[in-house]
Chains A and B, each alone.
Chain A
Amino acid sequence: MSIFELGIVDTRNIIRLLDDVYNYDFKNHALTFFKRRVENFIKMHNLRDAEGFIQKIEKDKMFFEIFLKDICVETTEMFRDPSLWRLLKDDLLPKNIANNQNFKIWIPEVTSGEELYSLLIILKKAQLIDKVQIIASSISDINLERIKSGLFDSKKIEVNDANYARIYNDNGLSDYYTIKEDGAYWDISLIENVKLIKQNIIFDDYPKGTKLIFFRNQMIYYNQILQERYMKIMYNSLVPGGHLLIGNNEKIDYWNSDKDFVLVSDTECIYKKKLS
């Protein structure tokens, strides 16, 4: 909840500044979402108002990086929606990876890394981890560095463990992390072969020939222009028969979804690119 409120004009000025100075275009993020995130940021860093924000950020590249991290919505738990992860573990991953030596998976905005580590743990346990090539990108360098270090918030341990137990019926998640003084750390040998890439909001270059894309609960923060742009990129990235995962209450019917995709699971929002 924000006590401080940013006007629409100020919000637009900030969007213009970030584009002019840093070449990051937030114009097609959902406006109220963007405004709310900036308001929280201004509050958290005691910047007082839009003017304070602009003065600080236009001169301070490092501060801009912190902003990029904070604009990304952190995934608050591992294995969010356990029923989806169960389906991935029991069916989708083993079935599709089995006869592949180079199964390419892409997470276009990896944010705080919970989806990535959830996926890696499932692949590791199924002994499929050597058969995949994972590419994870983010607009935030700070997030990528943190993912590399394995650090996560130890406050999340309880919910992470509970979700894991809903999938595997045991308490084995602790095999994959260590608690240290400054927080909890994932076993970073898991991400040894993951390619982590810094991306701008607009993808100039993107992975081709992917067989599985995770893009859950990201498009809710975009307007339709950016949604369509991402859908086009992801459609082009996927091989025919490749799968796209989106969030449970997201729809892609602004895209020509019937022609291009089959809805494989209504409850888990899994789409499959048509063969031709």
Chain B
Amino acid sequence: MYKAVVIGGSAGSFQVITRILNSLPKNFPLPILLSLHRLKHVRSGFVEALSIKSGIEVVEPFDKDTIKPGKAYLAPSNYHMYIELNKKIALSTEEPVNHSRPSIDLTFETAAQAYRDKIVGIILSGANRDGAYGLKKLKQLGGLAIVQDPNECQVKTMTEASLKMTQVDHIFTTQQIINFLQNLK
């Protein structure tokens, strides 16, 4: 029933993302949109590191790429990644939002507008409040909101900010997130 998964993370989320990607089956049926804070002057290495053991292909999309199921799309460093209504990627170098580019809020908000109630949004460990507003929008538009259990996060700020703003559907540990995703059809 879901058509996409969008994940946001910052400090302390790299290992979580790696575990999630590594646990996904090759035929995972949905696209995964990843908006992660990262060093803006280091372009290479990140997607490679995520790809090593990932069950599905991880790419840094080009502008106007069409989103396809079974692929993970990582927001390129120093770009915002918007999701268009026609399920294409739009990249942008517009000003950082909350000091962040990519902005998790922008990816979540536009992904929610494109997929409405057919999207799962997951906020992971992080050191600022980016993502909280985006998750709220996603929930308002009918999406399913999940937050990583703050007790498990290396840095709690982001998950706690999200929980404060939104009545989420689930608070999950990494293992529970993995189980949930593996059961998506």
Contacts and interface: CB of A to CB of B under 8 A. Distances in A.
Given A73-B94, A76-B93, A76-B95, A248 B43 contact: yes
B91 A249 contact: yes
Contact of A217 (B82, B84, B93, B109): B93
Contact of B60 (A80, A247, A249, A250): A249
Interface string A14-43: 000000000000000010110000000000
B133 interface: yes
B41 A163 contact: yes
Given A220-B63, A250-B63, A251-B62, A73 B93 contact: yes
B92 interface: yes
B105 interface: yes
A1 B138 CA distance: 14
A1 B105 contact: yes
Interface string B85-114: 100001111111100010001100110000
What is the interface of chain A mostly: helix, strand, loop, or mixed? loop
Interface string B133-144: 100000000000
B109 A251 contact: no
Contacts of B109: 1
Given A74-B95, A217-B93, A1 B106 contact: yes
Given A1-B133, A33-B90, A249 B79 contact: yes
Contact of B78 (A32, A80, A251): A80
A149 interface: no
Interface in A250-276: 250-251, 267
A81 B90 CA distance: 19
A81 B41 CA distance: 6
Nearest to A40: B94
Contacts of B126: none
B90 A32 contact: yes
Given A1-B105, A76-B93, A248 B76 contact: yes
Contacts of A250: 62-63, 91
A33 B64 CA distance: 12
A100 B146 CA distance: 60
B61 interface: yes
What is the interface of chain B mostly: helix, strand, loop, or mixed? loop
Contacts of A33: 90, 92
B90 A166 contact: no
B44 interface: yes
Interface string A196-238: 0000000000000000000001011100100000000000000
Contacts of B92: 33, 73, 220-221
Given A30-B90, A166-B41, A220-B90, A249 B95 contact: no
A240 interface: no
Contacts of B44: 267
Contacts of B91: 220, 247, 249-250
A75 interface: yes
Contacts of A32: 82, 84-85, 90, 110
Contact of B63 (A1, A80, A81, A251): A251
Contact of A81 (B43, B60, B62, B85): B43
A241 interface: no
A219 B95 CA distance: 17
A248 B63 CA distance: 10
Contacts of B90: 30, 32-33, 220
Given A75-B93, A80-B93, A221-B92, 4 more contacts: A73-B94, A76-B96, A80-B78, A249-B79
27 contacts: A1-B105, A1-B133, A30-B90, A32-B84, A33-B90, A33-B92, A73-B92, A73-B94, A74-B95, A75-B93, A76-B93, A76-B95, A76-B96, A80-B78, A82-B41, A166-B41, A217-B93, A220-B63, A220-B91, A224-B64, A247-B63, A247-B91, A249-B79, A250-B62, A250-B63, A251-B62, A251-B64
